[in-house]
Structure 1
Amino acid sequence: TGPRRRASSADAQPCFVPTAAAARLIGLPGPSWTALADAVLGLGDGRGLFEHARPVAARNGWLVLELRQERYTDGLKLCVCNPTTGDLAVLPPLAGADNLGDYACALYTGHDLDTPRPLSPFFRLLIVYNRRAFTALRSYSSDTGRWSTEAKRSWGPKIASEKLRELGQSIVFRGVAYWLLGRTAFAVRLDTPEPAEERMPQCGIPDLPPGWGAFGVAADGKLMFVDAALGLDYKAAVRSYHLTVAKRAVFCPSTGDDGCSGAWDWTNRYCIRLKELKVRCGGSQEEKVPPYGDKVNLRWLWFCEKSGNLLFTLGEGTGSPGAFVLNMVTEHVEKVADGVDCDSWRNFVGYEMDGAAYLASISRG
């Protein structure tokens, strides 16, 4: 997702844009602005609650929304809900001395417990934000119904504000939330009542423009780094680029008994060349190929942990602007929304339906 900034009055309420598979399952043929309110609270109150809400995270069938406040001084108010089951929790607002500005968040659910409980209403929400002199961590647990005390980042300096705004999606792996940060990862343990930063080795990951890199989970269950770049089509009459998505490295946290080294592994890399997604630029064939460029406007990368799909948007300057889903295994690309305005979406999260909860809801019906 993008920067976690306070919503403006011009923002619209969240919209679901289904993939082909989801459309067949839930009967939603196109984008819907009312599906969320209808699913969680029914007609009426739900639409009022979610009006101008802003999606900031999604995992395991759960969705995190920032609810718009009348004034900035009202503080931060978050809602965690499961549209499939109808579970909903409006968290105590962080206001007054607890108020904060830009932030990033991560979600830990019943799926992630040592003994997974997919249908459990349990969740823990982590937020990362800046104070004047340090980067702070705080979590909310559904079982206690309260926020934890504020903790300081322990293994590094304060994260620069511009970097904090660019943290984007987190991947939760073995109870730890990971974000790209410089040439390594920012890791926070989330399976404990109080969040605590984990120390990470340097990776050598290049500094990328916002939206060009993401973490995912590889088929072998390891954390992987995914990025995007432009590849030149030398056979084209006019200089043309295509989008390339690559898995660059994997990381397996060491637990002492699983054979993992706790270091980054740069072997077994691969690239997916999406030649059907072209970017046309002026100039001669001999010009140097830019690794990234404003012409592409690749705004977001979002990795879906369960399916292994990668979501992204392409904007003005490309041959096919819109929102896309890439299956990292089959390399099939599906276009789920058309138009250059997809690149201007302020928040973009990938929502994967909770399969167990969905089947249970059908049986109840």
Structure 2
Amino acid sequence: MVLQRFTPLIICIFLTKCRGHTEFIYTTNNEVKLQCSTNKWQISTESDNKREAICTVECVNGETLKLNNTQNSCINKKSYNVSKNCLLIARSGFFRCVTALDSGFLFPFKPSPNTVTSYIVATANEEMTTKSEERSSVELTEGEDVLLNCSFNLTGKYDNQKFILYWIKTIGKNSSCVYSYDYGLLDGIKYDHHCTVQEELRYRLSNQTEGKNTHNIRISNVTESDAGQYLCALQIQGKWKIIKNITVSDSKTKEDKKHKNSTVSILLYATIPILLVLALAVVGFIWKKTKTSSGSVAIKLQRNQKGKDMEETDDTECSPYAVGTGEEETRRESADIYSVVKQNDLYEHWN
């Protein structure tokens, strides 16, 4: 029973891991370097979801591939001498790093089980709308609703063109499609054609579209998982423009972070004085130890010097070559004279 309950969860986690993630790269650069941990790329340089067969490539000997969007040229290389870590220098388009080749259309936000990473290289075109990108922030309160607004006016050149409007949620390098709107005079209107339905938003997300130029979305009963960066992005003829850039933060997470920072600050303020006192105590101990050692050395040197002087004195008195004092010399001379006198007396007596 327990195994049956957890089997779907295990399969879901496994499939999610296998399907990789999508990176949305909004850039004004002409070329972007993409990394693939395998050796296979699938590409749609026009961002029209049509997979270009000639651009399903395999890297040989770790070479770097470079695409020319104008000529749309890319050689399909097949070789047994293939290598991993394939670099691709590309311009705008959809790019998918895969473990095995897929068929059909290429939707970056609908990865296949063979997908490692999907890339959207969104080359910016500021001329699409009359206003520049707008940035704002929203703070969530769990359990309440949040409304994200996005409206735009197309310039004359793009007013009657087919376009796709996305709401893209990004956390770090991982992007997901929350809402999409396809508009075309011949194809009609399609909702969420480019998105994979997210279970956590299935019953909490509602769009409040008003015509083709206003695309508001409402998220009800918000949770901490709804935090992230939300982009309202417009795509026309393979070019992109971000209309709204909204940072959605969770108030509870913000308060927890603030409380954590305050706790860390308090600990630092309490710890620094203790560390200073300990440092001063160590310095004082070392200084005292050094002073005591210096005094001991000086006393020892004095004792050694005195001992040396005493040894020199003893050596002088005991030496066989010592020089006598004047008094000793006088006594010796007197004794010698006395001996001579005694001898003379004896001499005189016999005579």
TM category (shorter chain) comes to under 0.3
TM (norm. structure 2) is 0.23
Structure with the greater relative contact order (CA < 8 A, sep ≥ 6): 1 or 2? 2
Give the strand-richer structure, 1 or 2: 1
